[in-house]
A = this chain, B = another copy of it.
Amino acid sequence: MKRGSPELEINLQELAAQLHACVTRLFPICRSITGDGVRETLSILSETVALDIHNVPSGAQVLDWTIPNEWNIRDAWIKDASGQRVIDFRQSNLHVLNYSTPVKRTMSLEALKPHLFTLPEQPDRIPYRTSYYVENWGFCLSHAQFEALPQGDYEVCIDATLAPGNLCYGEQLISGGTDEEILISCHICHPSMANDNLSGMAVAVHLARHLQALSEVGALRYSYRFLFIPAAIGSIAWLSRNPEVIPRIRHGLVLACLGDSGAHTYKRSRRGNTEVDRAAADILKHEPHSAIRDFSPYGYDERQYCSPGFNLPMGRLTRTPNGEFTQYHTDADNLEFVKPEQLAKSLLTCFDILQLLERNRRYLNQKPYGEPQLGKYGLYSNTGGSTSSPARQLALLWVLSLSDGEHSLLDICQLAELPFAEIANAADALAQVGLLTEA
């Protein structure tokens, strides 16, 4: 899993193109938390890595929740008196309140208004709205469209079904050297929205592809589990059905919103100082304008993974967080908003965090009394007296000094103020000559 190793000699331009193509292909599909849009999406993702598709039937109890009926939609419109579609699902799947019950009737503008959702503060944008757990129907439209609607009668039609079926999600387990797992999760339930969260899906599935390749050559320490799930109900369903997996999760990341122009923001796990929290902080400190923020119980599926009963050591990586870019949950979160190179760089940042976790260990100095005579082991320069010691030799001394079973390599790199890779390389060299053993 070493970046720079042959497996990951990634061509950034090529990766960027692959990721954006993935987003582009998935963009038109009308997804929701259930339904055929999810199935089609999982099927396309399976072309990159073979996903197991799980079905959870409507009515099943998952933790405190019940799997809802499956929603499928074929068409929807509002027609004016002349029979012309003034709002048309075929133009944007955001026009329908997601999970709307079927409706077909003619009604006055006044009667229709409670079913119309707009964004007055962004009058040209169509908002994305949902009503999963309370039966309702409605249309979303730009406030400009809304204001241009003349009085009169309108025919409204939502040709949808809400009926017993299944909630679907995709899962892949990539085997590493141990059954300790790193969990990577992204949500897949939003319709035509590029950053939130096709970006996360594209990055996750290509990350899985690269890890799969490393797994095949035996280069992974951890096993990796990828989840492609509808938000909230999907992670709740998975958590409910996998009690035996949960104790094996050592670290995890929720991925979302990885395509916009902003720098990365990492949100800490509820525990606040887990290894993945510290690994992400160590990687992001090299990225200008990146930010680390504390856990809050609002956001994506970290809400479920980090709920107090599970309290998993999982953080979240985004670029600009949910709700903090004006395009969020509008039709402006589109294919232009998502930049190919940003997607690729996010994938590499994920890799760097995972690589740090892969290499981070605790060691025991086998010659802890005084310094070992490093020259004997071929690890020291021969002529003494120079003003400064090169970073490589400092790294050896730091690793020896702090390999007392209490400090991980990540602890050491932070105390030494040296790059993690320098410290990890020093540990490898010391372990090779028998001066370190794993704690």
Interface core residue of A236, A239, A365, A382 (most chain B CB under 10 Å): A382
Which DSSP category, helix, strand, loop or mixed, fits chain A's interface?
loop
0/1 string, A359-403, CB within 8 A of B gives 1: 000000101111111011000001111111100001001101111
The CA of A69 and the CA of B297, in the complex, are separated in Å by: 64
CB 8 Å contact bits of A309-351 with B (1 = contact, 0 = none): 1100000000000010000110000000000000000000000
| B323 and A388 contact, CB distance less than 8 A | yes
Q: Give A124-156 interface residues, CB cut-off 8 Å to B.
A: 127-134, 136
For A294, the chain B residues whose CB sits under 8 A away are: 415
> In the complex, are the beta carbons of B132 and A309 less than 8 A apart?
no
**8 Å CB contacts to B: which residues of A236-251?**
236, 239-240
Query: In the complex, A424 Cα to B368 Cα: how many Å?
Result: 38
Q: Would you call A304 an interface residue if the criterion is a C-beta within 8 Å of the partner chain's C-beta atoms?
A: yes
Contacts A307-B370, A402-B308 given; indicate if A387 touches B323 (C-beta within 8 A). Answer: yes
Contact A298 B64 (CB under 8 A): no
Q: What count of chain A residues pass the 8 Å CB interface test?
A: 64
Nearest B residue to A62 by beta-carbon distance?
B370
What residues of chain A have their CB less than 8 Å away from a CB belonging to chain B?
63-66, 97-98, 117, 127-134, 136, 232, 235-236, 239-240, 270, 294, 296-298, 303-304, 306-310, 323, 328-329, 365, 367-373, 375-376, 382-389, 394, 397-398, 400-404, 415-416
The contact sample of 25 A-B pairs, CB cut-off 8 A, is A63-B367, A63-B369, A64-B367, A66-B373, A97-B383, A117-B383, A129-B384, A129-B385, A130-B385, A131-B382, A133-B375, A133-B382, A134-B383, A136-B383, A240-B369, A270-B401, A297-B400, A297-B401, A303-B397, A307-B400, A308-B365, A308-B402, A308-B403, A309-B365, A329-B385
